[in-house]
């Protein structure tokens, strides 16, 4: 497999990191930090610019 294959377009908004954990600053009672998982609105958490339906078509 070539390492620089560009057959999978990466979302430019999140650069592939579609789901980001954000610390809210608050902490739970056990001391762990409270985090929110936010999905990129452009790719809707897929990390790619093309929708899932288009990717499925491209494989055929």
Query: Is the C-alpha dihedral spanning 43, 48, 54, 55 positive or negative?
Result: negative
The footprint of Zn ion on residues 1-60 (CB under 5 A) is: 11, 13-14, 18, 40, 42-43
Could you tell me the two tokens for 48? Answer: 């790619």
Residue 28 CB, shortest distance to Zn ion, in Å, is 28
Task: Return the number of the residue (12 or 23) whose C-beta is nearest Zn ion.
Answer: 12
DSSP assignment string, 47-60: SBSS-HHHHHHHH-
Residue 50 CB, shortest distance to Zn ion, in Å, is 11
Q: Which residues bind Zn ion (CB under 5 A)?
A: 11, 13-14, 18, 40, 42-43
């Amino acid at each position: 497999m070539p390492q620089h294959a560009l057959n999978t377009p990466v979302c430019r908004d999140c650069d592939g990191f579609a789901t980001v954990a954000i610390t809210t600053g608050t902490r739970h009672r056990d001391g762990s930090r409270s985090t929110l998982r936010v999905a990129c609105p452009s790719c809707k958490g897929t990390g790619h610019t093309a929708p899932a339906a288009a990717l499925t078509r491209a494989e055929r």
